[in-house]
Amino acid sequence: MAYSKEYIEFLKNLRIHMGDVVKHFKRETLTEEQLEADENLYLYRVLNFAKHTETGERFVIYESLYNGEVIGCNVHCGDVFARPMDMFMSEVDHEKYPDIKCEYRFETVEKKSRSCLICGCDEVLYLNEMVLRSCIAHRFKSRVLICNTCLGNMLHGAYAKTIGREKENKE
């Protein structure tokens, strides 16, 4: 999959990137007891960015990292949301929320490396969802940072063949 130069520049110029963990400004309103009950309240992971097919409006796709029962909201860990990019990146309305210190509605808590887990290149533009196997042979889905080249190689079996050749050459 080849991205346009325009889209690549768009991704590079964002202050929040795919894979980042972000906090909603309302996290500042939580009590210590609430945070003790769930330390991930109002935390989300940015999964991807989307474009509306008819209007061209950009959206941020993100998932909840908490269960909202503690604070009385119907949010569950793993729920996936879409919010217009302008709203997601907007500044906090300090007239409406004068006690909030955050500058933006969502701010980065943890910056994730955007380099490929296999080759280390920094050409990863989105999270690829893959079915992985754990050590006890259970299958589970995970979103991982892998560049398109390595993903393509894995899908076509070239990665396994390359690893096999490397092992043979070392022996």
pLDDT, one tens digit per residue, over 96-107 is 999 999 999 999
If one counts the domains in the chain, the total is 2
* Domain shared by 106 and 67, yes or no: yes
Looking at every residue in the chain, the average pLDDT score rounds to 78
* Domain shared by 73 and 155, yes or no: no
pTM of the model: 0.65
Residue 96: what pLDDT? 95
More confident site: 158 or 27: 27
* Domain shared by 18 and 98, yes or no: yes
* Domain shared by 106 and 152, yes or no: no
* Domain shared by 97 and 158, yes or no: no
Q: How many other C-beta atoms can be found within 10 angstroms of the C-beta atom of residue 127?
A: 20
pLDDT, one tens digit per residue, over 56-91 is 999 999 999 999 988 999 999 989 999 999 999 999
* Domain shared by 38 and 120, yes or no: no
For 91, counting Cβ atoms within 10 Å of its Cβ (0-12 exposed, 13-18 middle, 19+ buried), the class is exposed
Q: Which of 93, 112, 131 is the last residue of a domain?
A: 112
* Domain shared by 93 and 28, yes or no: yes
* Domain shared by 142 and 67, yes or no: no
Q: How many other C-beta atoms can be found within 10 angstroms of the C-beta atom of residue 118?
A: 17
* Domain shared by 62 and 139, yes or no: no
* Domain shared by 47 and 124, yes or no: no
* Domain shared by 49 and 120, yes or no: no
How many angstroms separate the Cα of 21 from the Cα of each of 44, 148, 166?
6, 23, 36
Residue 109 has pLDDT above 60, yes or no: yes
Q: Which stretches of the chain are assigned E, i.e. beta strand?
A: 21-24, 43-51, 58-64, 80-84, 106-110, 128-133, 139-144
Q: Phi and psi for 132 in degrees, rounded to 5?
A: -110, 160
Section 4-13 average pLDDT: 76
Q: Which residue range forms the structural domain that includes residue 125?
A: 113-171
* Domain shared by 62 and 124, yes or no: no
Residue 88: what pLDDT? 96
Closest to 64 in 3D by CA, of 92, 22, 31: 22
